[in-house]
């Protein structure tokens, strides 16, 4: 045996210098003639179509979980609607327009005397763009940090595992994925008969970058987007009228009592409302844009006109150009990609999250789903509690809610106990001279378990986090009432509302 090991190698196999080997068959060419038995090197564990909140969060999470991941985004910048033309730029305009409005109208009683106050719209927009670009670049950095391949282009399905990408810089490439995530988001729903030019007839996108302050504005739709944009331009001097089909503003999810409160407060700020009113038609051919409206019941037809019309009647899933038909993937009657409880489409390796599928079109809901979808791929288990997703409207005062509303409970014949606490009785709100609004809590009368929290008031968007946590953990109103809250804070109003639900508030 030992001798066999001593056999010089050249007696067994002649050595051939590598450089003399010709290129016999290249790997891709070979694959046309034989089956590929190992994954090709460019096949990803996960390919994500869409670099918005759902897509980029999924990409980062997948990178953290060690998956080989590529993210396709056609906008040229990451962050999707939220970062580029949604949540983030609107918050910049809301915050700065509120400051401007406050300096104009709310300084004398605070002992501050201000001279000439002027608005520089170009700089207001520049501040917005600085916030946006800082955040979008931040995501690109996170992509690099987590090993995510970022493909700038428009992706469409070739087959169930291959996506063709028309690159933004020209040319085309394709990418294969063992798993694919559709996260293409949504777009503003247009109003039939009114062509959107983003100058006179605008969506929320145009409302974020108007070049001059319009004299008048009609807002079709009194939901969250419509009211936030109405607030911005009203504060800057535009005469705003909101036309809403329903009998309340804020959309169907907002608690009726809260909706009435905020409507009163916004009316005080100068906004006009036409509720229970439907828009019959629009005409943008004249100097002003005209809308023909009627009451929902009929018989009160009238014509309204304004320099600008904001169409804010909702958003619809965006799947144009995605090639869903190439893989036989159907959408429901509202264009949403149909998924199961694990975000799988009918092709189990293709999943979908965010605005393009079921559930409320909220960035934080999309983020939760993105993480859960990656956990399903990697660990076989993920979770989102759809009963504890907060909603926030960033007007002033803000409106925020989580869980069920009073009318939800009434409709389902669920017994409940209600407790409220007004900010006018809260010490911090008093010192801030910002006392509009209330906290309202709903709890089960027997178990005291929290069923819903509804806030209209300063910093409601931050305060709702406590309610969401309580709801997620299944807390009782007594649990909140017995938890120490710092004094003096707005959060004490939250505690006192819990006390009012469980027993009695101290300060009201």
Partner 1 sequence: MYATRALRQAAAHAQRTPSIRFLGPRTIPSSIDHTPKPHPASPDGKLPASFVSNSPSRHSSFSSYRDHAQQHGPLQKSIRYSEANGVGGSSGSALGSVAAPAGMYFDTSELPARFRRAPIELEEIEAVESGGAALFG
Give how many residues touch partner 1 by CB under 8 A: 65
CB 484 → partner 1: shortest distance, Å?
13
Q: Which two tokens stand for residue 252?
A: 């169907």
Asked if 40 is part of the footprint of partner 1 (rule: CB under 8 A), the reply reads yes
Asked if 13 is part of the footprint of partner 1 (rule: CB under 8 A), the reply reads yes
Cα four-point dihedral sign 94, 98, 100, 105: positive
Specify the stretch interacting with partner 1 by CB under 8 A; choose among 167-175, 197-205, 299-307, 466-474.
Answer: 466-474
Residue in 80, 76, 77, 74 with CA at minimum distance from that of residue 57: 80
- Report which DSSP code applies to 336: P
b/e sequence 313-342, b meaning 16+ C-beta within 10 Å: bebbbbbeebbbeebebebeeeebbebeee
Which of residues 129 and 332 has its CB atom nearest to partner 1 in the complex? 332
Selected binder of partner 1 within 198, 447, 487, 506 (CB under 8 A): 447
DSSP-assigned beta bridge partners for residue 391? 401
Selected binder of partner 1 within 105, 137, 144, 346 (CB under 8 A): 346
Asked if 32 is part of the footprint of partner 1 (rule: CB under 8 A), the reply reads yes
Which of residues 264 and 482 has its CB atom nearest to partner 1 in the complex? 482
In angstroms, rounded to a whole number, what is the distance separating the alpha carbons of residues 311 and 487? 43
H/E element, 125: helix 121-145
CB 444 → partner 1: shortest distance, Å?
11
DSSP E strands, 368-423: 391-393, 398-403, 417-422
Q: From the centroid of its chain, how far is CA 281?
A: 29
Q: Which two tokens stand for residue 81?
A: 């609607």
Which of residues 152 and 176 has its CB atom nearest to partner 1 in the complex? 176
Residue span 377-396 as binding mask against partner 1, x where in contact by CB under 8 A, dash where not:
--xxx--x-x----------
Question: Catalytic: 487?
Answer: yes
Residue pair 89/132 in contact by the 8 Å Cβ criterion? yes
- Restricting to residues 468-507, name those near partner 1 by CB under 8 A: 470, 473-476, 478-479, 482
CB 184 → partner 1: shortest distance, Å?
17
Specify the stretch interacting with partner 1 by CB under 8 A; choose among 7-15, 116-124, 230-238, 296-304.
Answer: 7-15
Q: Which two tokens stand for residue 498?
A: 């819990």
Q: Which residue has tokens 């189990």?
A: 348
Asked if 358 is part of the footprint of partner 1 (rule: CB under 8 A), the reply reads yes
Selected binder of partner 1 within 195, 197, 302, 332 (CB under 8 A): 332
Strands 172-182 and 43-49, sheet pairing: parallel
Which of residues 276 and 447 has its CB atom nearest to partner 1 in the complex? 447
- Restricting to residues 226-285, name those near partner 1 by CB under 8 A: none
Q: What angle do CA 345, 349, 66 make, to 5 degrees?
A: 130
Residue pair 179/163 in contact by the 8 Å Cβ criterion? no
Asked if 176 is part of the footprint of partner 1 (rule: CB under 8 A), the reply reads yes
CB 475 → partner 1: shortest distance, Å?
5
Which of residues 243 and 480 has its CB atom nearest to partner 1 in the complex? 480
Asked if 445 is part of the footprint of partner 1 (rule: CB under 8 A), the reply reads no
Specify the stretch interacting with partner 1 by CB under 8 A; choose among 23-31, 103-111, 146-154, 270-278.
Answer: 23-31
Q: From the centroid of its chain, how far is CA 424?
A: 31
Q: Which two tokens stand for residue 301?
A: 């037809």
Q: Which two tokens stand for residue 356?
A: 């393009």
Asked if 1 is part of the footprint of partner 1 (rule: CB under 8 A), the reply reads yes
Q: Which two tokens stand for residue 20?
A: 């003399």
Residues in the chain, total: 508
Asked if 17 is part of the footprint of partner 1 (rule: CB under 8 A), the reply reads no
CB 324 → partner 1: shortest distance, Å?
13
Residue in 391, 412, 415, 477 with CA at minimum distance from that of residue 440: 477
Q: Which two tokens stand for residue 12?
A: 């067994």
Which of residues 117 and 469 has its CB atom nearest to partner 1 in the complex? 469
Which of residues 261 and 477 has its CB atom nearest to partner 1 in the complex? 477
CB 38 → partner 1: shortest distance, Å?
5
Q: Which two tokens stand for residue 448?
A: 């005291």
- Restricting to residues 149-168, name those near partner 1 by CB under 8 A: 159-162
In angstroms, rounded to a whole number, what is the distance separating the alpha carbons of residues 142 and 144? 5
Quote the crossing angle between the two packed helices 224-235 and 87-105, to the nearest 10°. Answer: 40
Which of residues 20 and 109 has its CB atom nearest to partner 1 in the complex? 20
CB 372 → partner 1: shortest distance, Å?
11
CB 51 → partner 1: shortest distance, Å?
23
Q: Is 72 exposed, middle or buried (0-12, 13-18, 19+ CB in 10 A)?
A: buried
Q: Which of 364, 487, 502, 507 is catalytic?
A: 487
The three-class DSSP label of residue 248 is coil
CB 7 → partner 1: shortest distance, Å?
5
List contacts with partner 1 (CB under 8 A): 1, 3-4, 6-7, 11-14, 16, 21-25, 29-33, 35-40, 43, 159-162, 176, 178, 328, 330, 332, 338-344, 346, 348, 357-360, 379-381, 384, 386, 447-449, 470, 473-476, 478-479, 482
Active site residues: 487
């Amino acid at each position: 045996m030992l001798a066999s090991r001593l056999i010089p190698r050249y007696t067994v196999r002649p050595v051939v210098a590598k450089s003399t080997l010709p290129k016999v068959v290249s790997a891709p060419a070979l694959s046309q003639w034989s089956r590929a038995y190992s994954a090709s090197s460019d096949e990803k564990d996960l390919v994500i179509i869409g670099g918005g909140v759902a897509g980029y969060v999924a990409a980062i999470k997948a990178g953290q979980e060690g998956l080989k991941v590529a993210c396709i985004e056609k906008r040229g910048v990451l962050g999707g609607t939220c970062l580029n033309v949604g949540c983030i730029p609107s918050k910049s305009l809301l915050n700065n327009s509120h400051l401007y409005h406050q300096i104009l109208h709310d300084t004398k009683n605070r002992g501050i005397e201000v001279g000439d106050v002027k608005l520089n719209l170009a700089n207001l927009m520049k501040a917005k763009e600085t916030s946006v670009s800082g955040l979008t670049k931040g995501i690109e950095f996170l992509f690099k940090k987590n090993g995510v391949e970022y493909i700038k282009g428009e992706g469409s399905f070739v087959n169930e595992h291959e996506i063709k990408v028309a690159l933004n810089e020209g040319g085309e490439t394709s990418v294969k994925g063992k798993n694919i995530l559709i996260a293409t988001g949504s777009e503003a729903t247009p109003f039939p008969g009114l062509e959107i030019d983003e100058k006179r007839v605008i969506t929320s996108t145009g409302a974020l970058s108007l070049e001059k302050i319009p004299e008048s504005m009609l807002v079709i739709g009194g939901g969250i987007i419509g009211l936030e944009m109405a607030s911005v331009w009203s504060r800057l001097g535009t005469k705003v009228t909101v036309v809403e089909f329903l009998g309340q503003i804020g959309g169907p999810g907002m608690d009726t009592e809260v909706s009435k409160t905020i409507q009163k407060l916004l009316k005080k700020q100068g906004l006009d409302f036409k509720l229970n009113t439907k828009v019959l038609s629009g005409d943008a051919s004249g100097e002003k844009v005209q809308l023909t409206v009627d009451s929902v019941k009929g018989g009160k037809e009238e014509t309204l006109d304004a320099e600008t019309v904001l169409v804010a009647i909702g958003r619809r899933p965006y799947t144009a150009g995605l090639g869903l038909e190439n893989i036989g993937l159907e959408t429901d009657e509202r264009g949403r990609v149909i998924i199961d409880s694990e975000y799988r489409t009918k092709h189990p390796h293709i999943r979908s999250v965010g605005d393009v599928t079921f559930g409320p079109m909220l960035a934080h809901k999309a983020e939760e789903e993105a993480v859960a979808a990656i956990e399903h791929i990697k660990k076989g288990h993920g979770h989102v509690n759809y009963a504890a997703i907060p909603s926030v409207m960033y007007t002033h005062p803000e409106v925020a809610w989580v869980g069920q509303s009073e009318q939800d409970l009434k409709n389902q014949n669920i017994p409940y106990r209600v407790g409220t606490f007004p900010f006018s009785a809260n010490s911090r709100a008093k010192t801030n001279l910002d006392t509009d609004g209330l906290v309202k809590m709903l709890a089960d009368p027997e178990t005291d378990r929290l069923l819903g929290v509804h806030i209209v008031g300063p910093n409601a968007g931050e305060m709702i986090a406590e309610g969401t946590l309580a709801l997620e953990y299944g807390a009782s109103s007594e649990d909140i009432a017995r938890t120490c809250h710092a004094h003096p804070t707005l959060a004490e109003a939250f505690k006192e509302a819990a006390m009012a639900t469980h027993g009695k508030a101290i300060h009201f």
